[in-house]
Amino acid sequence: MEENQIGGNVMVCFRDSESGNYRFSWWVWTLLTLFGAFQLSLWQAPLMAAEPEELSASRPPQVETLYEPGQLGGHGATLHRVTITGTARNTAGDPVKDADIYVSSRGWIIPSDFEQLRGHTRSDEYGHFVLKDVQLFVINNRDSRSRPDEGDFIVFGTKENYGLTWHPTRTYRPAARPEETDSRDRNSQSTTSAFYQNEPIVIDLQFDTPAKLKGVITDKQGHPLANAKVQLGYVDRPLSTTPHRTGSCEYLKQKNPYSNQNDSFINFSVVPLSMRETYTDAQGRYEFTQLRRDTSYSANIDPGPEFDPWQFTLVTASQSRNSRNTVAAGYAGEVNHQFTAPRDVTVRVVQSDSGRPVSNVLVTAHPIGEVRRSGIQARTDSQGKARLRLIPDEYKLVSEPNPDQPFLYLSQQYFVPKREASGRNDTPNVTMKLNPAAIVKLKAINAKTGAPIPGVRFNYETYDSGEQTPVSTQTVYVDYPFTNDAGEIQAFMEPGTRRFVVAEPFSLSQAAGSRSERIKLTAGQVTEVTIKLTPAEFLPTHLVASEIQPRKNSLYVPEIQKKWHIQSELLRLTPLRITTQKVSIYRKSVDTENLLKDLRALDPYELPDIKSLLNKYYTGELDWYKQVLTAQGTLKHEARYFNPDARPPLFFNLSGQPLPNLTTMTDGWKTIHHQSMSNQAGINLNRRGRINFHVASPYDFCEWPSLRNRIPAPKNTKKPDVNISQAGQRIIYERESDERVFRRVLDQDTGFIFETSYQIHSHQSEQVKLSFAPYKLANGLILPGMHINWKTYQGKLQRLEVTLIEQAEILSTVPADAFAIALPAGTEFIDSRQLPDNISYIAGNHESKKILSGPVSDFAAYLQRNPYYSHEMETEPQLGRHAPTLEPALWLTADGKTAAPNLNGKVALIHFWGTRNANSMDQLSEMKAAYKKYAEQPVVLIGLHDSYTSTSQLQAIAEQKDLKYTLAIDQRPEEAGWFGKTMQHFRVRDLPQMAVIDQHGNLTFVGDLRQALQKVNQLLDEKN
């Protein structure tokens, strides 16, 4: 028989000398349990006197499900009721009376809102304690063969005149102990040492003499810094390159004997606040008196947001060597620190030409390399002065004019000097001179009628790049303006040569005249640009026609289809800002069957008491949040504000307003987002036509089918057989078969859809959308007062969402910051713009990670001003350099498929075209003439068609037009917005377009046909 003593807990066991396995002596355990019960009867009375409420409360269930399997990172989670007993003694072996004993529980996955502190009690005069009916957190692992259901817990204690102490982390598994340990089990040590179901859990604690720490916090001039925060073990998230680090605490004298890992207190946040956090007094002094000896703590000293916090590792031992980030304070140490105090800096903003002050300009100082939280941003007053509080260092000063001011965004470097040795309180001054913007008035009109065209959005190209950038009304925000009723937009822009291109709507972006000539913009001058548009005739009718015909084979009458379409057009074109209250329930148990019955029984024209209904059929807690949605066309912006009582806001703007907890925005090509909880931002590009990040918008709760978004049905398609009934003002469409059930309810006058529901019996799936209390806005758009939808699969709820509309506003003038995402200082984001499709997101993190040292007014504008390196930039076609590779999907002629032409030593004339583009088709006669002209010359003509055609279609055109030169069909583009892969590499944004490659394979020209032919002649002359 052997006796093992670990942390004061005695375990008695027998060892079989032949097998080497241990087996517990259960009769000894029985005696110990009976002895413990006898002791419990002696000290239970004082415990009842101390905590009568705990014993009188109802017991929690034996097992409580928190997350069903699959709901927590693919796993489940449960709470298991256990009782933990033990004894608190000091190092001399004497019992410790009235010690506060706690238990904390967690798993290797932990929900963010889970309360890890699970129980508290006190020791009696014999040092005994009982943590009765505590609920331990257990992860129900997806694959129990690789990892059993288990959770970790830690018992710790505090007592005056003693240091904090804890027992090494233990594991609980709610199953029977295995009869023997598998020799192949890599977790055999955990398997042996874990507590199993129905086994007594005995945890003893040993208290030791405390380590103490004190110090004085001052600035470098010796002035004490009062109210400075000092934290140990669990520190504020630092504004640095590791924003997720929240601290650590580790006992250094031993490892955890149950896991052979470091004896770490991994969830130190459960320790009483007074033992891990304090503030300096008026003299800058602080003190901790109950630290554990021989322990390392993450430490943070923060005098306030205008200072740089000092973060280091504190060791309560004298043997550790001091370093820049580690301080060994011993058992009674002193840690003092001097901080560099900020200086008052005055920034004066004036007009560059006249020197007049400019008021209401936002001035921000971005530190070079460091992250600062306060004192770095202010607005100029009537004298053009902004007053900042800056720590001596190097900064990039940024001036952002108000959106109505015709000036350009400005940035310049500035170094704040250190204070003079004399300590004189002088104030550094710096002047920033704003340059005037070029004022552009864009106007879109119908080329045939001269009528203005509202609802047009523009991009622009610079002189030296074919990259398209959205036009904005000013240079601070990307605001995506649309032409007004007069067909006009006014914008303040950088001077230079620009070409304006129609971006939206799609039908006009393909129109003749959708690209302007290159226009020179001059600072301080007004330039008027008129874009005359002729709608493209080759586009499908349903995309361009103003009068769209209803579907004849639809089960809905034409009047209803037209009303739906009118409403969908209003929803698409109206600039809206909608404020809602929303709640979402994911993968929880909700009685949707009876909920649907109750909802159907209500008057759909009235707003239901949905909160009472949800509480009736869902027992969990509802987490409602505020949602502000802004939308116009393809632009969507969502801002979420969580309940400030449950999750207080973390970041605020200069006016003191809280930033949203979650902000997302999409322009249809990319999606950007920011989360305050983690202070992380991200970019999701529309790759290959997919956007994998949903941005909430009014489209989510407004069901208005559009005649533009439809798949034409065959002409001989019959109307579906449905039952149509009337219920007052409502028309009900119902269809039921052995496979599925369909139901739709709508208002007969307005077409407003109250219900759309589907059921598929084979999948046990259901999708339900219900809308209530419709009301009409000033322009005729009808919105619901409330919308609820849910999906179930295999009888289980996947998602349920409820949206209550509090306010809906039509934006007569869309604010410049309507689609902006403000980022606070310290934001971390992965610049994934340069990551190709075939690379993992994680693989690109290291090189792509960026930390913002100061706040940013608009994430999209920041991305525009900070171009990225990418493979595309490396292959950007440059005149005089080797041309991009021609990589079409196939080569062909009028006779069929053919091989790639040989270009060695020849001039290549490439025609980028498409059969759906009228201008391209018009140029075919000129290409035929060029083919005849160069038939005897070393010139190869190539007609590279876009990727949106078939071999048979292109071959038919070649035969019809008698095209003798080599043709090709391009591959699909690597990103949305391009005509094909090769065209993307040549940066061809519009059709038709020409490129010329010389005899050495160098790109010599990209542009129109006339100039391309001149370039070919020049190359042939030079060769001769």
3-state SS track over 413-476: EEECCCCCCCCCCCCCEEEEEECECEEEEEEEEECCCCCECCCCEEEEEECCCCCCEECCCCCC
Q: What pLDDT score does 216 carry?
A: 98
Span(s) in the chain for CATH 2.60.40.1120: 63-177+189-206, 343-417+427-434
pTM above 0.85, yes or no: no
Q: Within 13 Å of residue 17, how many CA atoms lie on the same side as its CB?
A: 2
Instruction: Give the span between the Cα atoms of 103 and 150, in whole angstroms.
Output: 16
Select the CATH number that applies to the domain covering 881-1022 from these four: 2.40.160.60, 3.40.30.10, 3.40.50.300, 3.40.1010.10.
3.40.30.10
Q: Look at residues 484, 474, 509, 664 and name the one whose alpha carbon lies nearest to residue 575.
A: 484
User: In 3-state terms, what secondary structure has residue 710?
Assistant: coil
Least confident of 312-316, 735-739, 918-922, 956-960: 918-922
Residue 62 is classified by DSSP as S
Q: What pLDDT score does 974 carry?
A: 78
Q: What pLDDT score does 919 carry?
A: 82
> Does 272 score more than 90 pLDDT?
yes
Select the CATH number that applies to the domain covering 438-542 from these four: 1.10.10.10, 3.60.10.10, 2.60.40.3080, 2.60.40.10.
2.60.40.10
Span(s) in the chain for CATH 2.60.40.10: 438-542
Q: What pLDDT score does 743 carry?
A: 96
Taking only the tens place, the pLDDT of each residue in 525-549 is 999 999 999 875 544 444 445 567 8
Backbone angles phi, psi at 508, to 5 degrees: -85, -20
CATH classification of 63-177+189-206 is 2.60.40.1120, yes or no? yes
Residues 6+ apart with CB under 8 A from 186: none
Select the CATH number that applies to the domain covering 569-708+722-810 from these four: 3.40.50.300, 3.90.1110.10, 3.20.20.70, 2.50.20.10.
2.50.20.10
Angle, CA of 60, 63 and 64, to the nearest 5° = 75
> Does 13 score more than 90 pLDDT?
no
Banded model confidence at residue 714, pLDDT cuts 50, 70, 90 = low
Taking only the tens place, the pLDDT of each residue in 91-147 is 999 999 999 999 999 988 888 789 999 999 999 999 999 999 999 999 998 776 667
| Average pLDDT, rounded, for the chain | 86
Identify whether the C-beta of residue 884 lies closer than 8 Å to the C-beta of residue 872. Answer: no
Taking only the tens place, the pLDDT of each residue in 455-511 is 999 999 886 666 789 999 999 999 999 999 999 999 999 999 999 999 888 778 777
Q: What pLDDT score does 392 carry?
A: 94
Task: Kindly calculate the radius of gyration of the chain based on its CA atoms and give it in whole angstroms.
Answer: 36
CB atoms within 10 A of CB 475: 21
Instruction: Give the span between the Cα atoms of 413 and 328, in whole angstroms.
Output: 40
Amino acid (1-letter code) at residue 613: L
Q: Where is pLDDT greater, at 846 or 164?
A: 164
Across the range 385-405, mean pLDDT stands at 96
Residue 325 is classified by DSSP as S
CATH class of segment(s) 211-325: mainly beta
Q: What pLDDT score does 805 carry?
A: 97
Instruction: Give the span between the Cα atoms of 682 and 692, in whole angstroms.
Output: 12
User: In 3-state terms, what secondary structure has residue 968?
Assistant: strand
Identify whether the C-beta of residue 584 lies closer than 8 Å to the C-beta of residue 625. Answer: no
Amino acid (1-letter code) at residue 757: S
Q: Where is pLDDT greater, at 922 or 90?
A: 90
> Does 237 score more than 80 pLDDT?
no
Which residue reads 């930033």 in tokens? 659
CATH class of segment(s) 343-417+427-434: mainly beta
> Does 19 score more than 50 pLDDT?
no
Q: What pLDDT score does 258 carry?
A: 82
Identify whether the C-beta of residue 314 lies closer than 8 Å to the C-beta of residue 213. Answer: yes
Q: Where is pLDDT greater, at 378 or 544?
A: 378
Q: Look at residues 319, 338, 336 and name the one whose alpha carbon lies nearest to residue 328.
A: 319
**What tokens appear for 259 in the block?**
């896991």
* Burial class (CB within 10 angstroms; exposed 0-12, middle 13-18, buried 19+) of 450: exposed
Instruction: Give the span between the Cα atoms of 701 and 721, in whole angstroms.
Output: 28
Least confident of 167-181, 206-220, 606-620, 812-826: 167-181
Q: What is the dihedral of CA 875, 879, 885, 887, to 10 degrees?
A: 100
The sheet carrying 888-893 orders its strands as 896-898, 888-893, 966-970, 939-945, 907-913, 993-997, 1003-1007
Q: What pLDDT score does 518 carry?
A: 87
Q: What pLDDT score does 546 carry?
A: 56
Taking only the tens place, the pLDDT of each residue in 652-689 is 888 889 999 999 999 888 899 999 888 889 888 765 44
